[in-house]
A and B are shown apart, each in its own frame.
Chain A
Amino acid sequence: MIGSRWFFGSVLALAMPLAAQAQVIGVPYDDGQRLPPQAPVLPPPPLPVLEGSPYVIYPVRGGTFMISGPSANVLVQVGLDGVLVVDTGPAGDAAGLLREIRRLSPRPIRYILNTNADADHVGGNVGLSGIGQDIGSGNERPDGVQGYGATPTLAHEQVMFRLLEEGASEGLPTLTYFVAQKDIFFNGEPVSLIYAPGHTGGDSLVMLRRSDVIAAGDIYTPDRYPELALDKGGSIAAYLASLNHLIALTIPEFNQQGGTFVVPGHGRLSDEGDIQDYRDMVTFIHDRVKAMVDRGMSLEQVQAARPSQDYDVRYSREAGDRFVAQIYTSLTQPPLADEATLEVPE
């Protein structure tokens, strides 16, 4: 019987690495993801979908997850400090969204960050903030920390101005910024809101520096054309600058993919390899429209020339006409007084 203990020990030793991988939360199988010679590390597969749920949870890296449903994407970061949520979906979906967040962490929601003021990005602020609790952060510690009750909500000040203009009385940002960047530290990593207007005048990118994950909001929406909300401070110049700023912040690992992962406002989880394609598209269409504007063509003439036709097959003719009209108007109308200009890093 000398062989039996040795034999079973060997079998267990062989089996343990597989078992250990299978037990990693949110990682049903990630063996074979890192391959010679230098294949980039890719995110694990999505979590099983709850019965009847419209959401899919995509693990991104470490404690970060993209929750993707019928509306805007939500980035969730979980850890010992609690839960940080970037964008909160439409108001009516808050309960369903919370159910998904609770699959990732039972801890309080400590921070809500909004990338813009659209209803499908801030609608759940009310529903999610009541269940959180502020733990304070540096100099921003509000009065009555322990009994504060509501989750601090961070956004660019333009988000607050717009929500107030629209008559909102709750779900407003509680901490706003008006400079280039607003930083906090949460769950062991720096978290930055980076002013990146273009879709509106109040867009932010949210960068999780240690996780190397960025929520791009509607500055990057690969399942549709950009929406330039010109009446809300959006512009094609600022949009392109912000998209290139996003590219400057992302660093691919190998083969122009992996590395920094980006959660778009709408559409698929991405890395720089996807964003450059989108940036190229926006630049090409802008350049074509601008050449026509410079020749004095009217909007009707520009639309008839169909300068977005090679991408309309990907999205739609109607959406292409709208995007071309937005670019045309943005290039020809006098800029709004508060229109953003920003420096693009080299």
Chain B
Amino acid sequence: MTATHPHARRRSGSRACVPDKATARPLVPGWTGTAPTHAPLPACSTDGTSSAGWHRSTRSLRRLILLLCLPLAGLGANPAWAQSDIVGEWEHRQHEDRNERGAGPDIGEYEGLPINGAARYHAERWSPSLWTVPEHQCIPHPADYGPNFSSVRIWKDVNPLTQEVVAYHTNIAWNNPVRTIWMDGRPHPPANALHTWEGFSTGRWDGDRLVVTTTHMKPAYLRRNGLPRSETAVLTEYFIRTGDFLTWVSVIVDPVYLTEPIIRSRDFHLNPGYQVELYPCSIDVEVPRPAGEVPSYVDGNPDIRQYAEEYALPWEAVQGGAATMYPEFIATMGQVAPAQEGGE
């Protein structure tokens, strides 16, 4: 029996039509990327000659046969640049990051997160009632938070003329945010372009891993207890498929509120029957308030220590910070006073 390497089906010459890279043009000086090549597609042929005038040669039977065969030749081929595929319905295994699902974390629960003092200060004054403010009710989870949470559907757009993957899209149930991951080499927009909850994402294959870079995310949250994440953050993701399992790793770098990156991973299992639920969200006044009132604790949440006290955890540990991410921190925990004895 001949062993077939899983990637043996990757063959060169499988791409029926290669856009002329010379037509790719920078949109903005200083951008590292290039404009998409899928819109003004140049025709091309397998022998490397330009076929820009092919439509003028209708009398050439030889040419016609060649052209008719090209799309068929493409049918049996896999694109050389797609090392794997992530399309499908994926069920969240929910083996990690329990705190980011369901009822979520406690107030004042920051251990293991590389936050700075500014993030902590903000979260101590944050009120869960903020979610009742009409402008907050229908915010979807941002790109760096949503994968913690939910099963996901991933699909792709394919350019019918080249069979190139133009973009991947993801959709999760909570508020149905649709993400787009552009695969066509387009640049990230300049700084003052609109920011969105899901940001502007571009992807590239690094071997079998899909590596996605996301910028232009609206200011949002690192955790649902008031820890903020700024609009300057950059999200790098790795999609790693192993058979019917998908590992999705997110690396959040936020120069405003983090001193080190937050790295989160989750595993998903292929579940072709999974249906993303509809999530209609209507904005309603749930709590009558004076105009312009935005709930917060100006002097800090009086219950901020409740979590540490309830679980008898050292106050220094639940305060978070980069040191609390590392195993060495455990050795210091015996030396710090429990929260009950911590100074108010």
Contact = CB atoms under 8 A, between A and B. Distances in A.
Contacts of B228: 310
B246 interface: no
Interface string A12-48: 1011001101100000110110011111001101101
Interface string A234-264: 0000001100100100001011110001000
A122 to B, nearest CB: 21
Contacts of A58: 192-194
A230 B64 CA distance: 76
A81 B190 CA distance: 31
Interface string A33-73: 00111110011011011010000101000000010100001
Interface string B32-53: 0001101111000000000000
A283 B292 contact: yes
Contact of B294 (A28, A49, A279): A279
Contacts of A240: 292
Interface residues of B, number: 70
A187 interface: no
Interface stretch (B87-95, B171-179, B302-310): B171-179
Interface stretch (A1-9, A147-155, A199-207): A1-9
B135 interface: yes
B129 to A, nearest CB: 12
Nearest to B285: A346
Interface stretch (A102-110, A164-172, A189-197, A268-276): A268-276
Contact of A35 (B119, B180, B190, B299): B180
A28 B39 contact: yes
A269 B121 contact: no
A178 interface: no
Interface in B279-301: 291-294, 296, 298-299
Given A7-B64, A18-B39, A255-B138, A310 B193 contact: no
Interface in A262-308: 267-274, 276-277, 279-280, 283-284, 287-288, 291
B38 A36 contact: no
Interface stretch (B8-16, B160-168, B205-213, B261-269): B160-168
14 contacts: A4-B64, A18-B39, A21-B39, A28-B39, A29-B186, A32-B157, A32-B180, A45-B193, A256-B136, A268-B191, A268-B193, A271-B194, A276-B135, A314-B230
